[in-house]
Amino acid sequence: MQEHFTLVDHPLVQHKLTKMREKSTSSAVFRQLLREISHLLAYEVTRGLPMTTTPIETPMEAMEAPVLKGKKLALVSILRAGNGLLDGVLELIPSARVGFVGLYRDEKTLQPVQYYFKVPKDLEQRVVIAVDPMLATGNSSVKAIDLLKEAGAKDIRFLCLLAAPEGVARMKEAHPDVAIVSAALDRQLSDIGYILPGLGDAGDRMFGTK
Ligand code: URA
């Protein structure tokens, strides 16, 4: 298994993330940067995928060449902010199957409320990558992983952009088998569950809804 928490400290990721955090960055630029970072994060979260070989013929000779093993990956976006990461990851893994988990955060209790769930078949036979830019309290991430496991998923990875220590700890307690890949581990949560220093509300920054 991968490490429980992997920080992607690549210079390009860190530079783009700084621009995303900056409050004057427009939604259009924010989305573009997220798409670019998603490619780099997708590279990291798919590290160590099971491989096999297949016989092919190059113009020169026959060879046994490496290919991914097993059924197509499943990418699961935790709505709505997950879609920003999903688009970029799909560009790198275009044949992946795609699912959606609709959860919103009750701003009083900070607890996740489910409103949608649609995932690919045969989840138990696929590597599942759940995507959500913000791992904050961990409440919605834990709930999403609960739902994916109930649907049969056994090999799950979690991809985010920013994580708070509280969210990482909550995920580790609830789902120690789920490897987390993130571009940053921020300082703490605010008293209303926002990541500090963070980047604000990822969905609002992405879609200009504030
Ligand atoms: N969700 C966000 O969009 N931002 C945060 O800081 C925390 C949760």
Tell me the pLDDT tens digit for each residue of 14-71.
999 999 999 999 999 999 999 999 999 999 999 999 999 999 999 999 999 999 998 8
Instruction: Check if 201 has its Cβ closer than 6 Å to any atom of ligand 1.
Output: yes
Residue 112 has a pLDDT of 87
The phi and psi torsions of 157 (rounded to 5 degrees) equal -120, 155
CATH number, domain containing residue 178: 3.40.50.2020
Active site amino acids:
105, 109, 201, 204
Residue 57 has a pLDDT of 98
Residue 111 has a pLDDT of 81
- Among 111, 134, 143, 168, the mutation site with the greatest number of ligand 1 atoms within 8 A of its Cβ is 134
Measured by CA distance, the residue closest to atom 7 of ligand 1 is: 194
- Which residue reads 């928490």 in tokens? 5
Residue 145 has a pLDDT of 98
Measured by CA distance, the residue closest to atom 4 of ligand 1 is: 201
Residue 199 has a pLDDT of 98
Buried b / exposed e over 1-40, threshold 16 CB at 10 Å, is: eeeebbebeeeebeebbeebbeeebeeeebbbbbbebbeb
Instruction: Check if 158 has its Cβ closer than 6 Å to any atom of ligand 1.
Output: no
Instruction: Check if 134 has its Cβ closer than 6 Å to any atom of ligand 1.
Output: yes
Residue 3 has a pLDDT of 87
Residue 123 has a pLDDT of 96
| Segments forming the whole domain that contains residue 64 | 5-207
Ranges of residues in the chain with a pLDDT under 50 are 1
Instruction: Check if 164 has its Cβ closer than 6 Å to any atom of ligand 1.
Output: no
Q: Which atom of ligand 1 is nearest to the CA of 203?
A: 3
What is the number of structural domains in the chain?
1
**Edge-to-edge, what's the strand order for the sheet holding 112-118?**
5-7, 179-182, 155-159, 127-131, 74-79, 97-105, 112-118
CA 157 to centroid of ligand 1, rounded, Å: 20
